Amino acid sequence: MSQTFLGRPVSAWLVALAIGAGLTLLLFAVRPIGLRWARRLAERLPTRADDHLVVALQRTRGFFLVAIGLYVGGRWLDPSSSVERALEVLLILAALLQIGIWISAFLTSYVEAWAQRRIATDPGAVTGLMALRMLGLGALWLAVALVALDNVGVNVTAFVAGLGITGVAVALAVQNVLGDLFASISIVLDKPFVVGDFIAVGTDMGTVERVGLKTTRVRTPGGEQLVFANNDLLKSRVRNFRHLKERRVTLPFAVAPGTPAGALERIPEAVREAIDSVPDVLFERAHLKAFGAHGELQYEVSYVVSKPDNQLHLDRQQAILIGIYDRLQAMEVNLAGPAIVQRPG
């Protein structure tokens, strides 16, 4: 074939195309074989690092393999310096992006596996490491971007200086994002709560699943996931139940007008008996507190549940309410509205 195309013989183009396509197909065929071999090797080795390395290798992308094929096939044509430089830049950019994906996948797999092992014993460290992972990934991709810009001919020094000049304007534009970012750092350092804590924010409550750079994810007892902006979360009053040692509960109730004075005197003792009959509960007080607007007689009861478990608290509260109601019925004393309602102690 004596014909030429872009200054090169058509035969050379065909050979370059065959080499590039053949190498690309070979790489795509070898990739699953290599991954299976790596998984088998990781299963035999006692360390965990190789498992995370396998996870990273599984993120090998097709564009990287295609870029290798294009570079090798293009070199066969003996291209001009400008074309050769373009092929090199293409390969470098693909390699940088692939390296970033590998490192990101390795770090994510390592941190998540470490967090699963430590969440029960050291949730504070898990929270800190999760935030550091996000900062590390941000720094990684920033470095990848800067190296990529340098390879395509951008003056990185001038670019960074330009970022400094426009930094004020950018900060004003994304001040809410930056507020959440600094709030995330504050949460990690001050630890008002950590991953695994059961918290309440206003009327919402649940278990902290993740503290990110911008948001905190909370799983409610009903299964829904609540997403709080970190900045808004720190401005709110957060109740953390993790370090709760015991629960003090105050129960108000009222008996009907016209109840005999003798029965009124016996009601505190009946309440004490009802509470003492329930395990894991310590009676504190029961008193006639006030006269209601409609003549009802208002009592207030206080007791302590010795364990912080919420389910135990609800079970004991139910038993106490039933016990009080049963004893009032035996004394022929009627409750007055409103019915017994829990008030936080």
- The answer to whether position 48 is within a domain reads yes
The pLDDT of residue 297 is 93
Token pair 């065959």 in the structure block, residue:
18
| Judgement on whether residues 106 and 11 belong to the same structural domain of the protein | yes
| Judgement on whether residues 227 and 263 belong to the same structural domain of the protein | no
| Judgement on whether residues 252 and 292 belong to the same structural domain of the protein | yes
Among 188, 222, 240, the domain-final residue is 240
Among 118, 149, 184, the domain-final residue is 118
The pLDDT of residue 162 is 59
- The answer to whether position 140 is within a domain reads no
| Judgement on whether residues 113 and 208 belong to the same structural domain of the protein | no
Buried b / exposed e along 59-72 (16+ C-beta atoms within 10 A): ebeeebbbbbbbbb
- Both tokens of 64, joined, read 């990287």
| Judgement on whether residues 48 and 92 belong to the same structural domain of the protein | yes
- The answer to whether position 124 is within a domain reads no
What CATH number does the domain containing 234 carry? Answer: 2.30.30.60
| Judgement on whether residues 273 and 288 belong to the same structural domain of the protein | yes
> What is the rounded distance in angstroms from the CA atom of residue 86 to the CA atom of residue 89?
5
| Judgement on whether residues 96 and 72 belong to the same structural domain of the protein | yes
**Nearest 5°: phi and psi at 164?**
-65, -40
User: By residue range, what is the domain housing residue 42?
Assistant: 4-118
- The answer to whether position 328 is within a domain reads yes
The pLDDT of residue 345 is 44
- Both tokens of 185, joined, read 């750092």
- Tens of pLDDT along the chain (345 residues)? 456 555 566 666 677 788 888 888 998 998 888 888 888 887 787 777 777 888 888 888 989 988 888 888 877 766 666 667 778 888 889 999 999 999 988 888 888 887 777 766 666 666 666 767 777 887 888 888 888 887 777 776 665 665 555 555 554 545 566 666 677 777 777 778 888 888 888 888 888 888 877 788 999 888 889 998 888 888 888 888 777 778 889 999 999 998 999 999 999 999 999 999 999 999 999 999 999 888 899 999 999 998 877 788 889 999 999 999 999 999 999 998 654 444 444
- The answer to whether position 162 is within a domain reads no
| Judgement on whether residues 10 and 61 belong to the same structural domain of the protein | yes
> What is the rounded distance in angstroms from the CA atom of residue 79 to the CA atom of residue 304?
84
The pLDDT of residue 259 is 92
Alpha helices in 229-307 (DSSP H): 230-235, 261-276
CA angle 280, 286, 292 (to 5 degrees): 135
| Judgement on whether residues 114 and 82 belong to the same structural domain of the protein | yes
**Nearest 5°: phi and psi at 245?**
-95, -35
> What is the rounded distance in angstroms from the CA atom of residue 131 to the CA atom of residue 183?
11
| Judgement on whether residues 263 and 217 belong to the same structural domain of the protein | no
- The answer to whether position 127 is within a domain reads no
> What is the rounded distance in angstroms from the CA atom of residue 81 to the CA atom of residue 71?
13
**Nearest 5°: phi and psi at 207?**
-100, 130
Q: How many CB atoms lie within 10 A of CB 110?
A: 19
The four Cα atoms 272, 277, 281, 287 give a dihedral, to 10 degrees, of -10
What CATH number does the domain containing 258 carry? Answer: 3.30.70.100
The DSSP bridge partners found for residue 98 are none
Among 80, 102, 118, the domain-final residue is 118
| Judgement on whether residues 54 and 108 belong to the same structural domain of the protein | yes
What secondary structure, in 3-state letters, does 68-94 show? HHHHHHHHHCCCCHHHHHHHHHHHHHH
| Judgement on whether residues 286 and 271 belong to the same structural domain of the protein | yes
Number of structural domains, the chain? 3
- The answer to whether position 283 is within a domain reads yes
> What is the rounded distance in angstroms from the CA atom of residue 52 to the CA atom of residue 103?
10
- The answer to whether position 340 is within a domain reads yes
